[in-house]
Amino acid sequence: MYHFLTELNMRVLVVEDEESIATAIERGLIKQGYAVDVARDGAEALDKATVNNYDVICLDLNLPRIDGLEVCRRLREDRFGGGIIMLTARSSIKERIEGLDYGADDYLVKPFAFSELAARIRAIARRDGGLREPVINTRGLELDPNTNRAKRDGKDIHLTPKEFALVYYLARNEGRAVPQEELLEHIWDEHANPFTQTVKVHMNNLRRKLNEGFEEQLIETIRGKGYVL
């Protein structure tokens, strides 16, 4: 039997306005080892996809504020490089073709078995190719979100998925002090405890790795405001 292993840095966004369905998918994926975020409408989905690096987005079509087709179109227009699986009760061939033409990789008609959704996510995650998230180069630091590889002046820096997510987020917001609360919201999830030392511990480890062998410190703490690259 072939055993599929989920990676710790595999992140999925579930976009579903029906709470019971969203909760069921979220719980099932978390049990399989994925990091999971949930958006309840199309606008929230676009906001989260802008600041987080998702491997796969499970996208309902019938959404409040911005419908799923428009969300998919905008994601691809913004060069979102992850997989998109559309989840919908719309089952006509025309609607399936329309969804795929807007940029979806797969299409799953409700009701569906969770095991099938999980298998389709694994299939998309194994595929290589398609559009990619941008590689960031700044101050001698190179960050490739498609491979989670970091380099400084050509030297490989081995970061954990969370450490990479932190520095990539800071790099996307270069020059701006990012509050701890914002990091908790976007790098962890909405359930993260703001009173823990999670951010501080990860940031200390990240700094040590980024600055080892270099005089210049890349990340500065601004008291009362947050962290800035």
Answer yes or no: are the C-beta atoms of 205 and 93 closer than 8 Å.
no
CA 28 – CA 68 distance, rounded (Å): 22
Query: 106 and 47, same structural domain?
Result: yes
* Amino acid symbol at 155: K
For residue 3, being part of any structural domain is answered with no
Tens of pLDDT, residue by residue over 4-38, are: 333 434 789 999 999 999 999 999 988 877 889 99
Query: 78 and 45, same structural domain?
Result: yes
Across the range 98-112, mean pLDDT stands at 89
For residue 61, being part of any structural domain is answered with yes
Query: 122 and 21, same structural domain?
Result: yes
* CATH number reported for the structural domain that contains residue 213 in this entry: 1.10.10.10
Query: 174 and 145, same structural domain?
Result: yes
Domain-ending residue, one of 74, 107, 126: 126
For residue 74, is pLDDT > 60?
yes
Answer yes or no: are the C-beta atoms of 29 and 13 closer than 8 Å.
no
Query: Would you state the pLDDT for residue 220?
Result: 92
For residue 2, being part of any structural domain is answered with no
Query: 121 and 17, same structural domain?
Result: yes
In sequence order, the 6+-apart residues with CB closer than 8 A to the CB of 78 are 49, 50
For residue 42, being part of any structural domain is answered with yes
Its domain, for residue 49, covers 11-126
Tens of pLDDT, residue by residue over 175-221, are: 999 998 888 877 776 566 666 788 889 999 999 999 998 988 999 99
Residue with tokens 């701006």: 176
For residue 129, is pLDDT > 50?
no
For residue 172, being part of any structural domain is answered with yes
Residue with tokens 């959404």: 63
pTM (two decimals)? 0.56
Count of domains observed in the chain: 2
Query: Would you state the pLDDT for residue 194?
Result: 64
Mean pLDDT of the chain: 85
